[in-house]
Chains A and B, each alone.
Chain A
Amino acid sequence: MCTGRIDPQFVLKAFEKGADGVLILGCHPGDCHYREGNYNALRRFHLLKKMLDQFGIEDGRFRLDWVSASEAEKFVGVINDMVKKVKALGPLKPAPPLPLSKKKGRGDIQAEAHG
């Protein structure tokens, strides 16, 4: 697995389920174990970030950074900084509760589950 596997749905799923921040850490550009997965992550990140802004999800809640396995200090620094920023922003406002309390189920996934 690679940052290239990160489906923007994962990020949204985390925010949907109550995460107050999402941090993606990947191999440095040019240093991807899978050659170029991190460039895909980078492209998706920029577009997703722009879109999340339209959803009222503030800048500090979503971040992409490059940390290699040997950069313990940077790893700690990035995590602490992220935690600090997210704490300052406070909890993300949830979407209103759904009138029908069930998992949203449009489409065949649920149909299969029922079958």
Chain B
Amino acid sequence: MAKPKVAFYWCASCGGCEESIIDLAENILKVIEAVEFVIFPVAMDFKMKDVEALHDREIAVSFINGGIRTEEQEHMAKLLRKKSGIVVAYGACAHLGGTPGLANFFNRDMIFDYVYRKAPSVENPHNITPKPRTAVKQGDLTLPKFYDTVFTLDQVIDVDYYLPGCAPPPDLIMKAIEAILSGNLPPKGSVLAPDKSLCHTCKRKPTKPEKAIIKEIRRVHEVLLDPDRCFLDQGIICMGPATRDGCGERCINANMPCRGCFGSTSRVEDQGAKFLSALASVIDANDENEIRKITASIVDPAGVFYFYSLPASMLRRRRNIANE
């Protein structure tokens, strides 16, 4: 019997997701034995026409990482959708937009202006910026269109499952692959991770006071972080209470607070808003000026609360500068 075909693809992301397959260590051998990779950009060469030549649904499962930021990414996502039985949004960027999604606080013009003109390391005397089409002697050169807004994968194609994390941890990857290979699948649309928040397994929980109260908010570089005490109790923003469990607290074990890469639980639609609500609720002030003072100490609320999930949020992007 032919081995099931598996594709990995890489859209608007750092590429760490594809490398996370390496985190499987010896288990990767089991995977290789069980499946045939047809597309795997970080590991092997492939051509678009090879993908186009596949029958519809010939690929058993496509793991697509990264959000959708360009025309080409949209095209590939749609192509893979057509050729795959199952599509898994792999990692925080495909799932929620991820950190590249923070670009939604700007627009294309602002991004190009900075990246191709204003960034301190840029020297661009001819003011050249990417264009979808550039005429040269030999003919027209084309670049995929760069969108004004980053989208999550499921805003572009129908997604069957979500494997969360930046990047997904090996145990969840292995569990997901085993489930797919065995056909023992949860309902469509499931996030393949526990549905409680991170506090559930956090080792620091015993140090959290019974009644959470925050008198001031501090940033990680401003204080020496206690390696054992609940971050919120130290006045450090930790997204753990509003973030899905299952990551193995890799950040917390490295004495860094949770930034929310697993997204919210299934019961929450907007992770950032929900965290905001929780945080504001435990601010220890009733006086309006005092509240303003504490609020002012949260320097970049949108950037922190939507570190990974801006494109998936209800508002999706900064509104007053949207071009299209």
Contacts and interface: CB of A to CB of B under 8 A. Distances in A.
Contact of B318 (A50, A54, A104): A54
B68 interface: yes
Nearest to B68: A99
Nearest to B154: A106
Interface string B37-77: 00000000000000000000000000000001000001000
Contacts of A39: 286
Contacts, number: 164
A112 B270 CA distance: 18
Contact of A99 (B156, B265, B321): B156
A112 B188 CA distance: 9
B233 interface: no
Contacts of B305: 51
Nearest to B284: A43
A109 B266 contact: yes
Nearest to A39: B286
A12 B312 contact: no
A112 B187 contact: yes
A90 to B, nearest CB: 11
Nearest to A110: B189
A96 B318 contact: no
A98 interface: yes
A4 to B, nearest CB: 9
A15 B315 contact: yes
Contact of A51 (B149, B186, B276): B276
A43 to B, nearest CB: 4
Interface string A78-115: 00000000000000111110111010111111111011
22 contacts: A8-B277, A9-B268, A16-B315, A42-B288, A42-B291, A46-B295, A50-B295, A51-B305, A55-B302, A93-B319, A94-B319, A95-B319, A96-B149, A100-B154, A104-B152, A106-B152, A107-B190, A107-B191, A108-B189, A110-B189, A111-B186, A114-B189
Interface of A: 7-9, 11-13, 15-16, 29, 36, 39-40, 42-44, 46-48, 50-51, 54-58, 92-96, 98-100, 102, 104-112, 114-115
